Structure 1
Amino acid sequence: MTRRFAKDPQVDNALRHSVKDGVAYSVMAGAGETYFSAFALFFKATTTQIGLLASMPPLISSISQLFSAWLSHKTHNRKKVILTGASVQAIIWLPLIVLPFLFPENAVAIIIACIIAYHAASSVVIPYWSSLMGDLVPEKRRGRYFALRTRYTSISALISLIAAGLVLHFYEMHDLALYGFISIFIVAAIARWVSVYHLTHMVELSEMTTTLDIEMTEHWWKQLKHSKFFHFSIFFSLMQTAVATASPFFAVYMLRDLQFTYVEFMTLSAATVLMQFLTLNGWGRISDMFGNRLVLITAGFVVPLIPALWLLSTNIWYLFIIQLLSGFVWAGFNLSAGNFLYDLIPPPKRSTYLAYHNVMTNIGVFCGALAGGLLGAYLPTSISVFGETYHWHSALLGIFLISFLLRLTVALVFLPRLKEVRAVRQMTVTELIFRATRFSALSGFIYDIISSVKHGRK
């Protein structure tokens, strides 16, 4: 990286290290976080326990954000908080690796506890890191800088996800899967310590003078509940509730019920990540020209179909195509939802509004994942109708069907009511579908590389 991100050499150096921090963090996420559910399933975690594994971290994250608000009144040294939280997260990998091996009878409970602590440490850091990066990245170069950083982190996450899957597959073939998990988690821990090293090169241009206050006055609440932001947050949190009812259990379905190997699981997981990476910029160009509402509505009505499509076949290549479709649609949905949210929030209140939005979303994910785990434990695998008995191979298919119905209901109720916030060119949904399905993901990827080279020469 020969380009300069800032005129101040000290700031420029910090931003270069931030890119490397992002790469190291992505290696940890790809090689480690991706396989948390698989690790729990190795120790015979039940569907309900997987539900807890998926539901508790978002709830703890909400509490951690409140802790961050309290902490901001006690210290204004953002770098110190960031380094402490990141170091704690790195340390947590040690008990996560060692304790299940030493106490296999309590392994699942230990894994859940460690992962809760892992996400709590990360959630405390996020507001301070976002605030510090907002000060360091020059406003005029913010778009290009974060585009470059995201490109590097996405590639790193994908490569590490694939590599970890291959490592697990190698150990699995020799009946040593546990040592495979230990190996990839050691890599993840080392990657986080590398991330911490690069975070030490962050610089505080000035201490944080504002606190992360959470308003709770009656007047503010009356304003909030009648705002477009509040109605959108309700929609988004309900959609995440519906999604979380099924999303934690696709891994369970693949590894436990379909008996897929780790390399097959990795292949399907990587398909979604790869498709999101290749199509994200294409969706971004459409959103910039024609608005976020149109993309949100189009993708929002396809998102419900994803779990329903899992009911039709267990063929891995069929599921691979479904995963590609999932990555394509979720790239558009997540991008447009994030942009739409920022359009709705007044800049002076961004921190407060985002805190509420994140809390609502995390509570929704908690409720959805917990409900899915409980349903998965009690749903039948057969039903009798007029004397005929119908069987299916997994109770999780019932969860996928319920998630489809919940997602569709949320989409039908909320999406038609969305109004575009900014002035954009007009386009019909049919035209958008044609444009979105005809743009080449590979061409978009090549376009991004050429663009980054051109920017580097300026």
Structure 2
Amino acid sequence: MTGIGETYLSAFAVFLRATTPQIGLLASVPPLLASLVQLLSAWLGHVTGHRRAIILAGASLQAFAWLPIIVLPLVFRDYAVPMLIGSVILYHGGAHLTLPQWTSLLGDIVPERKRGRFFSQRTGRIAATTFASLIVGGAVLHLMTERGETLIGFIVLFVIAAIARLVSIYHLSCMHDQPRQVAPMQLPAAREWWQRIRHSNAIRFSVFFALMQFAVAIASPFFTVYMLRDLNYSYLQFMANTGMAIFAQFLTLAQWGRISDVFGNRRILAVTGLFIPLMPLLWVFSTNFWYLLAIQALSGFSWAGFTLSASNFLYDLIAPHRRTTYIAAHNVLAAGGVFCGAILGGFLGAVFPVDYALFGAHYHWLSPLYGVFIVSMLARGAVALLLIPRLREVRQVRPITTAQVIFRVTRMNALAGVIFDIVGTKPRKQDRKAD
């Protein structure tokens, strides 16, 4: 569903002649509004005492949301982009209804000492499937565009995405859920909030994550616009560029997972925090197709570690009985960051000029989005520099330097992987108390 459907939603919007600000709205408004559904999900989990039923309801809503995504922009052609945005809100609403309960369920199922490797293997398989379906989607769009039937190509992709989600619902229905493990909805008293903000490692992490999402979203929704509109990429080239990042994640996730289990998540956040700010800036230097593929490979390497460690860090920080409510609030805050970042990026992309005069010299940029990329780079760097040093590892883990992390990820071999598996399964001291 993600590889053949969701990945191509922005491309579909560009096909419908969406403007840069409209692309920003597509990337920001649906996640923000849908994230509020997570609070409803947390409440339902507390009231019903069951997680699987809520997960199935959200997954079903997400599957059937593909119907209005396909139909409404075609029926209301004069309002195609606003209708698409409204339909995607419904799609994300289903996903966010599922997310807190799904995260809580996995937190109970997966043993703490194996989380890094389990989630890296799971995410690796997802990346492989996403990569394969992304290729299929790009090929379908390319062939249909050659025949002058691009719209039919998008419809085929979105129908396949809906069917894939329906199949996944069956497998979700087979999962076991113990009602006694459902996290109750617990919110601290008003007088406790200030103390939590000052001293809670979990809240510091949520603030860092939301601000990083804000900084990333300034640029991330507009790479599709840049490739399809400014570089005139074919759908095959767009597929290759997007797929390269997913392929790089697949290659490095296992290494990141082993490092997470043995050496903790904070060090991974620190290492990837060095690379992530550079990603949008590197897009400015060249339009060469192979150069941008290499940039995407580096991006996939960085985001694989960041995403995995950020997800695992949540499990480390939050006690099980508070997990559902906290994750719902955490994701709402992150969605707010995405909304603000994408709106800012859309505005800047619409007002930035392409001709500059600096120190008496005149410069011409291919796209006003170059300015957006630079602003995103500066914001990412500021967040990483100011907030990552304030995060604290809560598990008892082995020390490792930044250089050693990079070496282990880029130079991992089969023997080293076996050693990591052996070391990572040794009993460790009792973990520190979670927030």
| TM-score tier after normalising by the smaller chain length | 0.7 to 0.9
Relative to structure 1, is the Cα distance of residues 82 and 334 closer, same or farther in structure 2, using a 3 angstrom cutoff? closer
Q: Does 1:289 align with 2:282?
A: no
Q: Does 1:403 align with 2:376?
A: yes
In 2: Cα distance, 1:165 partner to 1:235 partner: 35
Secondary structure of 2:357's aligned partner: strand
Relative to structure 1, is the Cα distance of residues 392 and 144 closer, same or farther in structure 2, using a 3 angstrom cutoff? closer
Q: Does 1:378 align with 2:351?
A: yes
Q: Does 1:43 align with 2:16?
A: yes
Contact 1:162 / 1:267 at 8 angstroms: preserved in 2? yes
Q: Does 1:33 align with 2:6?
A: yes
Amino acid of the structure 1 residue aligned with 2:337? G
Q: TM-score, normalised by structure 1?
A: 0.84
Amino acid of the structure 2 residue aligned with 1:40? A
How far apart are residue 52 of structure 1 and its match?
A: 0.5
Contact 2:215 / 2:379 at 8 angstroms: preserved in 1? yes
* Unmatched segments (≥5 aa) in structure 1: 1-27, 452-458
How far apart are residue 90 of structure 1 and its match?
A: 1.5
Contact 1:30 / 1:158 at 8 angstroms: preserved in 2? yes
Which residue number in structure 2 is paired with residue 217 of structure 1?
Answer: 190
What do residues 44-73 of structure 1 show as CA deviations (whole Å, max 9, x unaligned)? 000100000111122123311122233335
Query: Residues 19-418 of structure 1: matches in 2 within 5 Å?
Result: 28-72=1-45, 74-132=47-105, 149-206=122-179, 211-418=184-391
Relative to structure 1, is the Cα distance of residues 367 and 268 closer, same or farther in structure 2, using a 3 angstrom cutoff? same
Amino acid of the structure 2 residue aligned with 1:49? Q
What do residues 404-423 of structure 1 show as CA deviations (whole Å, max 9, x unaligned)? 11111112212333343333
Relative to structure 1, is the Cα distance of residues 78 and 232 closer, same or farther in structure 2, using a 3 angstrom cutoff? closer
Contact 1:78 / 1:207 at 8 angstroms: preserved in 2? no
Which residue number in structure 1 is paired with residue 426 of structure 2?
Answer: none
What do residues 352-387 of structure 1 show as CA deviations (whole Å, max 9, x unaligned)? 332332222111111111111111111111112354
- Number of aligned residues: 419
Secondary structure of 1:259's aligned partner: coil
How far apart are residue 280 of structure 1 and its match?
A: 0.9
Root-mean-square deviation (CA, aligned residues, Å) is 2.7
Amino acid of the structure 1 residue aligned with 2:235? Y
Contact 2:117 / 2:254 at 8 angstroms: preserved in 1? no
Relative to structure 1, is the Cα distance of residues 385 and 146 closer, same or farther in structure 2, using a 3 angstrom cutoff? closer
Secondary structure of 2:363's aligned partner: strand
Secondary structure of 1:383's aligned partner: strand
How far apart are residue 338 of structure 1 and its match?
A: 2.6
In 1: Cα distance, 2:339 partner to 2:312 partner: 24
In 2: Cα distance, 1:151 partner to 1:82 partner: 22
Which residue number in structure 1 is paired with residue 412 of structure 2?
Answer: 439
Amino acid of the structure 2 residue aligned with 1:86? A
How far apart are residue 232 of structure 1 and its match?
A: 2.2
Contact 2:281 / 2:373 at 8 angstroms: preserved in 1? yes
Which residue number in structure 1 is paired with residue 427 of structure 2?
Answer: none
Secondary structure of 1:175's aligned partner: coil
Secondary structure of 2:2's aligned partner: helix
* Unmatched segments (≥5 aa) in structure 2: 422-435
What do residues 56-93 of structure 1 show as CA deviations (whole Å, max 9, x unaligned)? 12212331112223333553343433333222222211
Contact 1:246 / 1:369 at 8 angstroms: preserved in 2? yes
Q: TM-score, normalised by structure 2?
A: 0.88
Identity among equivalent positions (%) equals: 52
Relative to structure 1, is the Cα distance of residues 211 and 100 closer, same or farther in structure 2, using a 3 angstrom cutoff? same
Secondary structure of 1:425's aligned partner: coil
